[in-house]
Amino acid sequence: VELTVRYAKGQKVETRKRIIEVAARRFREHGIAATGIATVMADAELTNGAFYGHFESKEHLVRETVQAEMAAQVAAWRLTLRSGGLEFALRTYLSTLHRDMHGTGCTSAPLLAEIGRQPTATRSAYAAQLEESIDLFADYLPARDAAIKRSTAVAIIALLAGTLQMARVIPDEAVSAEILENGVQAALKLARARR
């Protein structure tokens, strides 16, 4: 069996990546159910037919997008935590800037509930990346016991997602900003507790 490369090496892989990126943006902005294949493909500057050369179905695209974007988010968190520490990372996440950055921000917060309605494979992909996030956060917590670090990290992540979602709902700018700042304080409170 011979393996020939007729197209620029990795071209198809790059197209696939581009589809995932534009899909992620649409998903975050409008939700998974409200996002159509045709609009995603148009965003990627392709026609709808090309989709099925890259993915078996919409379900598969969702799975791969959740997987890839959550991994990217963990990497981003790692960078922010390393460069600025916990409070800086929390403040970056719960900033009005991030709140208003629907398409390019966090994947978890806007899609968490909807991921809960996806097939097990997609939810497992999320769960795996969540474990990465938990381990990462745990490294920046002052507690001694590993189990306490873990449970605190879980609580902080849940709090962050809930707070960002809530701030995005509230139309009153002052109240919304208050909710964000409040989330930072509560997360720090949880982080500081040793047991």
Partner DNA sequence: TGTACATCAGTGAACGCGCGTTCACTGATGTAC
CB 153 within 8 A of CB 134: yes
Q: Which among 23, 10, 28, 107 is positioned nearest to 61, based on CA atoms?
A: 23
- Closest approach of DNA to the CB of residue 14, in Å: 8
Burial class (CB in 10 A: 0-12, 13-18, 19+), 56: exposed
Minimum gap (Å) between residue 152 Cβ and its own copies: 8
| SS3 label, residue 163 | helix
Q: Tell me the closest approach of the beta carbon of residue 58 to its own copies, in angstroms.
A: 12
Nearer to DNA, 51 or 93 (CB): 51
Which residue ranges make up the site for DNA (CB under 7 A)? 2, 4-7, 11-12, 15, 35-39, 46-54, 57-59
Output the smallest distance, CB 193 to its own copies, in A: 6
* Closer to DNA by Cβ: residue 3 or 146: 3
Kindly state the smallest distance separating residue 54's Cβ from DNA, in Å: 6
Contact of residue 75 among its own copies, DNA, none (CB under 5-8 Å per partner type): none
Which CB sits closer to DNA, 61 or 68? 61
Can you tell me the distance from the alpha carbon of 79 to that of 81, in angstroms, rounded to the nearest whole number?
6
Query: What contacts 7, CB < 8 A, 6 or more positions away?
Result: none
Give the shortest CB-102-to-its own copies separation in angstroms.
Answer: 8
**Can you give the binding site for its own copies, defined by CB under 8 A?**
30-31, 33-34, 109-117, 120, 123-124, 126-127, 130, 151-152, 154-155, 157-163, 165-166, 168-172, 175, 178-179, 182-183, 185-186, 189-190, 193
From the list its own copies, DNA, none, partner contacted by residue 7 (C-beta under 5 to 8 A by kind): DNA
Closest CA to 16 of 56, 61, 54: 54
Binds 20: which of DNA, its own copies, none (CB < 5-8 Å by kind): none
Measured CA to CA, the distance from residue 155 to residue 97 in angstroms comes to 23
| Cα separation, 111 vs 120, whole angstroms | 15
17 binds, among its own copies, DNA, none (CB under 5 to 8 A by kind): none
* Virtual torsion, Cα 21, 55, 116, 109, nearest 10 deg: 0
